[in-house]
């Protein structure tokens, strides 16, 4: 697809159930969109954000996400060639530990 053809409707329906989809802008709300896809998206959603935003921009957003899970962090670190120590989720420990260790 061409970048101009992407809309919020291009993503999986479950990603933005909590907001009015008409008010979400792919350009202005890029942090929200990227974080939602990284945490809850399918592979097709991943392909859209890579095509629309680029790996570099996705990595910039992921680096600042303190709640990113370890698997996602490792994947983004690998595809963007970014050391895992640069990620906030790597250096910041949650105040409440997870109940399950997955």
* Residues ≥6 apart with Cβ < 8 Å to 82: 59, 63, 76
Q: Which two tokens stand for residue 30?
A: 């890029």
Task: Look at 61 and 4; give whichever has higher pLDDT.
Answer: 61
Q: Which pairs count as long-range contacts for 78-82, CB under 8 Å and 24+ apart, including other chains?
A: 79/55, 80/55, 80/56
Q: Which two tokens stand for residue 101?
A: 């260790």
Task: Look at 75 and 89; give whichever has higher pLDDT.
Answer: 75
* Stretch (H or E) spanning 88: helix 88-91
Q: How confident is the model at residue 12 (pLDDT cuts 50, 70, 90)?
A: very high
Residues 30-87 have pLDDT tens digits of: 999 999 999 999 999 999 999 999 999 999 999 999 888 889 999 999 999 999 888 8
Query: How many whole angstroms separate alpha carbon 65 and alpha carbon 59?
Result: 10
């Amino acid at each position: 697809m061409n970048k101009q053809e992407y809309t919020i409707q291009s993503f999986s329906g479950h990603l933005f159930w909590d907001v009015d989809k008409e008010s979400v802008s792919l350009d202005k709300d890029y942090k929200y969109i990227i974080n939602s896809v990284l945490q809850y998206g399918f592979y097709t959603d991943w392909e859209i954000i890579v095509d629309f935003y680029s790996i570099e921009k996705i990595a910039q957003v992921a680096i600042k996400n303190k709640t990113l899970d370890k698997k996602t962090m490792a994947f983004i670190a690998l595809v963007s060639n970014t050391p895992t120590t640069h990620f906030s989720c790597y250096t910041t420990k949650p105040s409440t530990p997870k109940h399950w260790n997955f």
